[in-house]
Structure 1
């Protein structure tokens, strides 16, 4: 998870399984760089992830669904498991 993206970051993102970018909507440069780096590294990217810097913790494992713009806690291996997390009803 990063608050902005620059071409210098590519080296540091090489081991990442995905990128969560908490950028401002006006920060087109970060989005462009993030997309290029994600494409080059063949990893998913989630853009404009509001409050990601606040919610996510260092070394926390998460699963990205960039098509839906969602982040799930832990490793989620199936669509059914994603639905279970999204549709949890608090007791």
Structure 2
């Protein structure tokens, strides 16, 4: 499912217009992104939690040449599925 398909599905369930639904989804994504850029966690009970993690700097290898390269440290986004979400996916 891509973003437009998500907008279509949510608009069909809520009865709102696709334009309004698209703006709402954009606002939700912006709010989640904003909190994560501040280093905070976003918890959606029954769905899951988004948080920021850290990946340490490390040495990697160029697969084409075999030369060693330095991979810098980076922040990552982690998602942990909530119990209800896991149960729904697993048919529980």
TM-based fold match above 0.5: no
TM-score, normalization by structure 1: 0.25
Between the two structures, name the one with larger relative contact order (CA 8 Å, sep ≥ 6). Answer: 1
| Greater share of residues in helix | 2
| Greater share of residues in strand | 2
